[in-house]
Amino acid sequence: MRSSVSFPAWEPIYEAICSDLGFDRSADETARDVAGELAQPFDHSRLSHLDGATVAVVGAAPSLSTDLAGFDPTAVDAIVAASTAADVLADHGIEVDLMVTDLDKNVDTARRLTHGETPVAAHAHGDNIPTLREWLPEFDSEWTLVTTQAEPRGPVENFGGFTDGDRAAFIADAFGAADLEFLGWAFDDPSVDPLKARKLRWAEQLLYWLERRRGERFGLLDGRRDSLAEDPSMFSTNKPK
């Protein structure tokens, strides 16, 4: 496992996200504490196969089914799926090694995966407290990695990242992935509402930060870097693209 993003490094970025999107940090902290009462410490060895691996980070863009036509799952060592991407992959007969979700959609998929001994990173934030209370007790806690975007506490961890997709990349990085590949991503999805569009701008900004930390260049950011900031805490989706 490599050295993941520390909270002191993440906190100014998190504050910038909250300010830009009008989110309440105290609500995130309440969600973290609720989740902490329902969680148990996650055994990191359950994700040891990510260490040194080529990891496909699969997003839930509408293009995913089309993208999978050219994807060879045997060409990667592990697959980390964001949210409903896990269902699309399953429909194509492809198993995931980790599902990353804030529980706003296919929660039963996440529950079922944990009971099948596939890890799920379940994210706690200010808008999903009722869902946490309802569903986390239904998960197999030994296979549930509970995360927060606020300061980590107890069994609730923070590896960086904000949306399910970019958080999946940050988790793969934290657990030692040697190479990250991306499919099923669409930063300019015209079907999303304005808030989701702003979240996607933050997702690409955070991936830009991650690629610089790793000394890599992610292909999905080609042609987009000029609109991004080297310091994400200075980034705002209100700036011109």
Domains of the chain, CATH where assigned:
7-234 (3.90.1480)
Tens of pLDDT, residue by residue over 60-82, are 999 999 999 999 999 999 999 99
Q: CA angle, corner 182, sides to 178 and 188, nearest 5?
A: 145
What pairing do the DSSP bridges indicate for beta strands 78-82 and 98-101? parallel
What pairing do the DSSP bridges indicate for beta strands 120-124 and 179-183? unpaired
Residue 80 has phi, psi (to 5 degrees) of: -115, 120
* Residues 55/80, Cβ–Cβ less than 8 Å: yes
Tens digit of each residue's pLDDT, the chain (241 residues): 566 799 999 999 999 999 999 999 999 999 999 999 999 999 999 999 999 999 999 999 999 999 999 999 999 999 999 999 999 999 999 999 999 999 999 999 999 999 999 999 999 999 999 999 999 999 999 999 999 999 999 999 999 999 999 999 999 999 999 999 999 999 998 888 999 999 999 999 999 999 999 999 999 999 999 999 999 999 887 654 4
Q: What is the pTM of this model?
A: 0.96
* SS3 at position 87: helix
Across all residues in the chain, what is the average pLDDT? 95
* Residues 74/49, Cβ–Cβ less than 8 Å: no
Tens of pLDDT, residue by residue over 7-48, are 999 999 999 999 999 999 999 999 999 999 999 999 999 999
* Residues 94/79, Cβ–Cβ less than 8 Å: yes
